[in-house]
Each structure stands twice: as structure tokens, then as C-alpha cells.
């Protein structure tokens, strides 16, 4: 298992970031990163430059009335949704809808324990609650930032 992980130290405090190829587009399909900037969690901690991984499917209509927002769970990713629920013969048809699947904070693709440097790296990563997920959903929707794949 050792060959799958590379530890690189970044930052001035020498805290490490694990580069794990499992959390890559090659394993989970293509995705984009959206920066929430400094993101305040319910516990009172601030994740600096919090990144949300997301993938889009389909096209947004000119009227912008066909969008569906899907949020994943901690161990789920946009690719699991794409495999099970998204497609012409599935519940979420990208020929009809513009589907945005946002990966949960802490799921490995968005800001997570293994890819966060500094005081919240690894085991120091703060707890993420459902309310945090709601705030993240609001932030993405208000920005209007999403591109189609």
C-alpha cells in the first residue's frame, strides 16, 4: 500500500499533504474546483481557501429553468451519481436537465483531511455538519459559477 501514497511537506509549519492517486480525475471522472474562499464552519473553524469539487452534466437552458443541484455524502463522489443516477435512461437525464453534482467537504475531492495543509491537516481536520453542507450549497448557487461538461 505504501507505493500509492506520497507525502510532501508544504507550508512553513511542515505539515504534510498526502497525494493519493485514488482522489484523482482518473479514478473519479473529470471535475472542476470552485473556491469558496475562507469558509467558516459551524464549529467556529475557518477553512482557508476551501475548495469544492463539482461536475456538471447537460446544458443549462437560456431561461435557466432546468438546473438540478445534487450534493454527495462523505464517501460518495460525483462519479457514483453519474454511474447510478445520471444518463438518458436514468432518473436524472442530462438531455433534459443541467445537473450540478457538488462533492461533500471532506470526501477526498473537495477540501479534505489529506489535501489540506496547515493547522487542519490530517487528523486535525474539523468536523463538517449538515448545516455546513447547506451553507456550501447556498454559496455555490449565489455565485452562479458552473460550467457544463
Find, among 105, 102, 117, 103, the residue nearest to 42 by Cα: 105
pLDDT reading at 1 higher than 50? no
The residue count of the chain comes to: 149
Tens-place pLDDT, residues 62-85: 999 999 999 988 678 899 999 999
pLDDT of residue 131: 65
| Domain boundary assignment for the chain | 2-143
Tens-place pLDDT, residues 37-56: 998 888 888 888 889 999 99
CATH class in words for 2-143: alpha beta
pLDDT of residue 75: 72
| CA gap 20, 72 in Å, rounded | 20
Average of pLDDT values for 8-34? Answer: 71
Amino acid at each position: 500500500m505504501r507505493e500509492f501514497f506520497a507525502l510532501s511537506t508544504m507550508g512553513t509549519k511542515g505539515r504534510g499533504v498526502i497525494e493519493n492517486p485514488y482522489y484523482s480525475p482518473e479514478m473519479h471522472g473529470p471535475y472542476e474546483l470552485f473556491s469558496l474562499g475562507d469558509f467558516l464552519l459551524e464549529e467556529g473553524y475557518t477553512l482557508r481557501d476551501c475548495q469544492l469539487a463539482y461536475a456538471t452534466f447537460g446544458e443549462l437552458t437560456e431561461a435557466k429553468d432546468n438546473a438540478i443541484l445534487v450534493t454527495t455524502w462523505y464517501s460518495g463522489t460525483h462519479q457514483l451519481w453519474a454511474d447510478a443516477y445520471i444518463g438518458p435512461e436514468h432518473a436524472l437525464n442530462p438531455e433534459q436537465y443541467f445537473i450540478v453534482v457538488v462533492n461533500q467537504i471532506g470526501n477526498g475531492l473537495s477540501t479534505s483531511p489529506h489535501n489540506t495543509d496547515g493547522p487542519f491537516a490530517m487528523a486535525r481536520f474539523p468536523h463538517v455538519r449538515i448545516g455546513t453542507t447547506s451553507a456550501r450549497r447556498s454559496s455555490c448557487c449565489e455565485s452562479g459559477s458552473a460550467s457544463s461538461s
